[in-house]
Structure 1
Amino acid sequence: MNAATQELNEFTVPAETLESKPGSTFMKPVEAISAVLLLAIIAMLLTGVTSRYIFGRPITWIDEAASIAFLWLAMLGTAIAIDRSEHLRLTLFLAMLSDRRRQFCETLGMVLMGTFLVALMPAAYEYAIEEMDITTSALNIPNGYRVSAIGVGMLLMLGLIVIQLLKSAKLADVLLAVGAVIVIGAGLWFMGPAIKSLGNANILIFLVGGAALCLALGVPIAFCFGMSTLVFLTFTTTMPLIVVIGRMDEGMSSLILLSVPVFVLLGCILDATGMGKAIVDFLASMLGHVKAGMSYVLLGSLFLVSGISGSKVSDMATVAPALFPEMKRRGYKPKEMIALLATGAAMADTVPPSIVLIVLGSVAGVSIAALFTSGFAIAMVLLVMLAILARIKARIENVDGVKRPTLGLIGKAALVAAPALVLPFIIRSAVASGAATATEVSTIAVLYAFIIGVVLYGGIRPAKIYKMFVETAAMSGAILLILGTAAAMAWALTQTGFAFQLRDMLSGLPGGWFSFMLVSIALFMLLGCVLEGLPAIVLLAPIMFPIARAMGIHDIHYSMVIVTAMNIGLMAPPIGVGFYIACKVGNVSPDEAMGAIWPYLGALLIGLLAIAAVPWFSLALL
C-alpha cells in the first residue's frame, strides 16, 4: 500500500479498498509534468546542499527556482487529486443518506467547488498580471510566472469538475444544484445590508456554519474553507477577492513547506523497498518472545517507522500486515489490535519527520529543530503510557511455544535493519542540531533511502518510481491547497477583530494558563476529529499562539500539547477519521473496534494532561 495514497484517502477512500485509482488518460501530460517538477525540485535542493556543505559556495538562485517549481507542482497536484478523487474530505454524513440523496449531495458539492473556482479565477488572473511587475531577486524574472500556477491549477480543476459532472451526475441534479446556488447567492445579495449589520455573528454563520455545511456535504476540506471565506468576504465586506488569492499564495509558498512533498516521497520509498518491514522484523526478534512483547513491537515499530515516512497512515499500513497474524495466534482480539494500532499511530505523529510539525513551525514561526527535538521526547511519554496499558492487558496473551531467538538470529535481523534504522536518527539529529534545515535533510534522506533501497532492499521498478512521483504530486497538492485556503480563512477571521475578543475572553479564564491549556485541548481534540491536523493548525495557530505567549506558555510546550490533542481527536470514534482508516488497514469492523479503543485513548489523554501540566516533558531536551 502506498504512503501517499494512504494519507490522502483518510477522508476519501471507499471501505473496500485502500488503493488509489488511476488518473484519466487526458491528464497523463499533467502527471508527467508534475513528475518532472518533483524531480527537478529534488535535484535543485540536492545541488544546493552539495554546493553549500561540500564546496562552501551557496547557490543563491536555487531556493527561488525551487519555490517556482514548488507552486506549480502544488497546483498541478491539486488537479491530479481532483482527477483521482483524492482530495481530503469527510464522508461520514453522506454515508448516512440514501443512495439518491447522497448522489444529489455529491453533485451539489461539485457545483459548489466549481462555483468557488469560477468566482476566483478572474482574481487569480488579476493577481498574476499584477505580479508581472515584480521581479524576483535572484533570477530577475517576473514573479507573475510563478503565481500563474494558481490560475492554471484552478482552470484544470474546473475542467475536471465539469467533466465529472457530465460523466457521473444526473442532469436534473446538476440543474437543481446550480439553481440552488444561484437562489442562495441572490438571496444573500439582496439581504446584504441586513447581513452586514449582524457584525461578528457573521463569523458563526459563514466561516463556521458555511464550512460545516460544506464539510457535511462531502466537499473537500480545502474547498470548504475556500467557499466559506469567499461567501463571507463577498456578502459581509467590500474586500476585493484578489486578497484571497494573495493569502492562498502566501499559505502555500513558504520555503519550509518544500520539505512536505519530499517527505511524502520518502514515505513512498519506505513502502516500496520494504525498509519499514526490516525494522519491524528486528524489533520482533528482540521483544517478540516476552509477555506483551508483540504490543511492544507494534508500538516500537510505529515509533521508529514514523521517523522515516512522516505519514501515520503509511506507518499503520507497514506495521499491521507484518504483526497482526502472529498477534492473532497469541490470543489478541482483532479489536484490541486495532485499538493499539490507532493509538500507536497517534502517539507517533510527533516523531520527526512529522509533516504536522513542519507545517506548525511554518505557520506559528516556531523552530522546527526545537519541535523535532521535543516531539521525540513527547512521543516517548505517550509510548510509555500505551506500553503500561498493553502490559496490563497482556494477561490474555498466549506465549506458549514461543522461543527466545538466538543471538545469531537477532544479529542477522539487526544487520538487515541497520541501514533503515539509521535513517530516522540521521533526520532527527541533523535538524535538531541545526546542521541542516528540514528541507535539506528531506532531500538527503530521499537520496539515502533510494540508494539503500536499490542496493540492499530489492530496488524499485522504474514504473513504480514514476507512479510514486505522481502520487506524491497529488498528495502534496491536496495538502497545500488546504493550507492555502485555510490561510485565507484565518486572515479573514483575524481581520474581523475576533482574535482580539477571543484573546481577552481566554485570558480572563479562572485558573490562569492551565485553564487555557484545558480549553485548547478540548478545542483541538474536537477539530482533530473532523479536520485532521493541518487545517486546524493553519486556522487557529495565528490566534492561539499569541494568547499562549501572553500567558507565559513556551511555544514548544504549547505546540506539543495541541498536536497531541489533535492526534487523540483524530483517532476518537465515532467521528475521528483516523480510527476508521486503522479499521480498514486491519480489516476489522469499526463497530467491533469502537468499544476497545477507549482505554487506549484514556492512556493517551492521561499522558497529554501530564504533558500539559509539566512543561519539563516538552522542554527538557531543548
Structure 2
Amino acid sequence: MTYIIIGVFFLLLLLGIPIAMVLGITTVIYFIINGQTILLDSTPLRMYSGLENFGLLAIPLFMLMGEIMNEGGITTRLVKFARVLIGHFKGGLAYVTVVANMFLASILGSANAQAAMMSKVMVPQMEKEGYKREFAASITLASSIIAPIIPPSMIFIIYGTLSSTSIGALFTAGIIPGIIYGLVFIAVISIIGMKQNFPKSERASWNEIWKSSLYVIPALLIPITVVVGILTGVFTATESAAIACLIALIVGLFLYRELDLRKLPKMLINTVTNTATVTYLIIMANIFGWMIAFERIPQLLVDSVLSITESPLVFLLLVNLVLLIVGMLLDGIAALIILVPVMMPLVTALNIDPVHFGVIICINLTLGLLTPPVGTGLFIVSSMAEVKFEKLVKSVFPFIIISFIVLLFLTYIPDLVLFIPRLLGM
C-alpha cells in the first residue's frame, strides 16, 4: 500500500500538478484505496485545525510589512545606505549586494522574492560599472539565501508551527548563521575580485554619509524593533510583525512621505494572495501528515535509522545529504511541510536540539534554490537578469561550495546556532 501511494505521489509531481494539490489528491486516493472512506468525513475539520495556530498569523503580517516597506521608499534607502558605506572599496558594489540583502532580509524573509527584486535593482548597476553580468547575477542569487536565515523568516515560522518549537528562539538562532554567510560571501568576492580586478565606485563625501545615515535611521527602526522586541521578550514574533507593520506605515507616510494610500488595496490584495498560497499548502500538508501518521511512517523511519546508527552526528550527516537532494527537486516550504512531521520523532529520539535542527533544515532547503536541476532561484534570476541558465550555474558554483562548507560547520558546531538563544534563556 505504501509503495502505491509513493508511486502516485511522484507520478502527480512528474505531471506538473502543484504540490499542494499533489498532497491533497494523494491523501484522498490513499483513504479510498485503503477502504477508510469514513476518514474523508473528518478531513475538512482536519484541514481547518491545521491553521489553528497563533504563530501562523505572523506570515500575513510580515508579508504586509514587506509590501509597505517597498512602497514607502524604505527598501531603496537601505540599499543606498549600504552603497554609501562600502561602495568605494574595490568590488564595492558586489559587497553592497550582500550587505543590502542582509538589510532586506528583515523586510522580505523570502529568498525567491529577494532574488527577483535585487536582480532588477543591482544587476544592471553592476554591469554598468564593469562587472560581468553573470557574476552580478550569481552574487545576487547567492546572497538572497540569507533572507530566510536572518529574522524575521517565514520558513522559521512554518517550521516552528509544525514542530512546536519557539519561533522567537528560531529567530534569534538565525542571527549568527546569517552574519556568517554574509561575511563568507564577502570573502569569496574579495578573492574573485583580486583575480578579476573588480572596479570600485567613487568614495562618498562625509556630507553624503551623514545624510544617508540620518535618512536610514527610520528604516532601520523596523528590523531593530522586531529583533530587540523578541530578544527582550517584550512581544512575541507575531506581535512584533504587527508592530513592524505599524512602524513601516508611519515611516512611509509621515517621514519619507512616499507611501501612497491609494496603493493600499493593491498591497492588501498581494498580501492576501501570497498568504493564501502558503496557507493552502499548509492545510493540504496537514492532511498528508495525517495519512503518514496513519501508516506509522515516522515510527518505521525512527526504527530504521536507529538500526543503522544511534549517533546524532551520523544522523545529521544523513539528513544534510537527503535534504540537499530534496531541496533540488521541491520548493523549500513544501519540502519543509512534508518532512518535518516525519523527522521530528527522530530528532526527539536522538536528543537533538529542535532549534538547532530547525536552522539546519531551513538552510538546507534554502540552498536548494541555488542548485540545478530545478533550483527555483536559478530560474528566477536567470529570467530577471537575462542571463543564460548554464552561465549562471557556472558563475554561482563557488558560492554553492562555500555555502555547503558553512552548513557543515553550523551542523557540527551547534554553539554557533544556539549561542544567542541560550544567552537569552530560550
TM-score by length of 2: 0.94
Larger Rg: 1
Q: Relative contact order (C-alpha < 8 Å, sep 6+): which is higher?
A: 2
Alpha-carbon distance in 2 for matches of 1:552, 1:247 = 29
* Structure 1 residue corresponding to 2:175, chosen from 354, 376, 382: 376
Q: Which runs of 5+ in 2 are unaligned?
A: 422-426
Alpha-carbon distance in 2 for matches of 1:343, 1:360 = 22
**Residue 49 of structure 2: aligned partner:** 250
Alpha-carbon distance in 2 for matches of 1:342, 1:262 = 25
CA deviations over 1:500-519 (Å, ceiling 9, x no partner):
11011222334711121122
**Residue 424 of structure 1: aligned partner:** 223
Question: How big is the shift at 1:612?
Answer: 0.5
CA contact (8 A) 2:87 2:202 kept: no
* Structure 1 residue corresponding to 2:316, chosen from 517, 520, 523: 517
CA deviations over 1:330-384 (Å, ceiling 9, x no partner):
4321211222111211123111111110111111011111100011111112222
1:351 has 2:150 as partner: yes
Question: How big is the shift at 1:243?
Answer: 3.1
Letter in 1 for 2:199: V
Alpha-carbon distance in 1 for matches of 2:52, 2:385 = 37
Q: Give me the CA root mean square deviation.
A: 1.7
CA deviations over 1:46-97 (Å, ceiling 9, x no partner):
xxxxxxxxxxxxxxxxxxxxxxxxxxxxxxxxxxxxxxxxxxxxxxxxxxxx
**Residue 19 of structure 2: aligned partner:** 221
Question: How big is the shift at 1:421?
Answer: 1.5
Aligned pairs for 1:352-367 (under 5 A) are 352-367=151-166
Letter in 2 for 1:361: G
Alignment CA distance shift 1:555-1:370 (3 Å) = same
* Structure 2 residue corresponding to 1:232, chosen from 30, 36, 39: 30
Q: Give the secondary structure class of the aligned counterpart of 1:212.
A: helix
Give the percent of matched residue pairs that are identical in Structure 1 and Structure 2. 26
Aligned pairs for 1:162-173 (under 5 A) are none
CA contact (8 A) 2:80 2:212 kept: yes
Alpha-carbon distance in 1 for matches of 2:134, 2:254 = 38
Question: How big is the shift at 1:288?
Answer: 0.6
Q: Give the secondary structure class of the aligned counterpart of 1:307.
A: coil
CA contact (8 A) 1:330 1:397 kept: no
1:309 has 2:111 as partner: no
Alpha-carbon distance in 1 for matches of 2:20, 2:331 = 12
Aligned pairs for 1:253-402 (under 5 A) are 253-395=52-194, 396-399=196-199, 402=201
* Structure 2 residue corresponding to 1:552, chosen from 351, 366, 380: 351
**Residue 531 of structure 1: aligned partner:** 330
Question: How big is the shift at 1:305?
Answer: 0.7
CA contact (8 A) 1:292 1:390 kept: yes
TM-score by length of 1: 0.65
1:460 has 2:244 as partner: no
Alpha-carbon distance in 1 for matches of 2:116, 2:256 = 18
Q: Which runs of 5+ in 1 are unaligned?
A: 1-201
1:608 has 2:390 as partner: no
Greater than 6 Å deviation, 4+ residue runs: none
CA deviations over 1:270-312 (Å, ceiling 9, x no partner):
2212211111100101101112322221111111111122232
1:241 has 2:40 as partner: yes
Alpha-carbon distance in 1 for matches of 2:263, 2:100 = 25
Question: How big is the shift at 1:614?
Answer: 0.7
Alpha-carbon distance in 2 for matches of 1:521, 1:433 = 32
Letter in 2 for 1:411: W
CA contact (8 A) 2:64 2:267 kept: yes
CA deviations over 1:430-474 (Å, ceiling 9, x no partner):
123221112211111111101111123333334421011112111
Alpha-carbon distance in 2 for matches of 1:283, 1:397 = 21
**Residue 281 of structure 2: aligned partner:** 482
CA contact (8 A) 2:134 2:392 kept: yes
Alpha-carbon distance in 1 for matches of 2:3, 2:83 = 51
CA deviations over 1:121-142 (Å, ceiling 9, x no partner):
xxxxxxxxxxxxxxxxxxxxxx
**Residue 502 of structure 1: aligned partner:** 301
Q: Give the secondary structure class of the aligned counterpart of 1:525.
A: helix
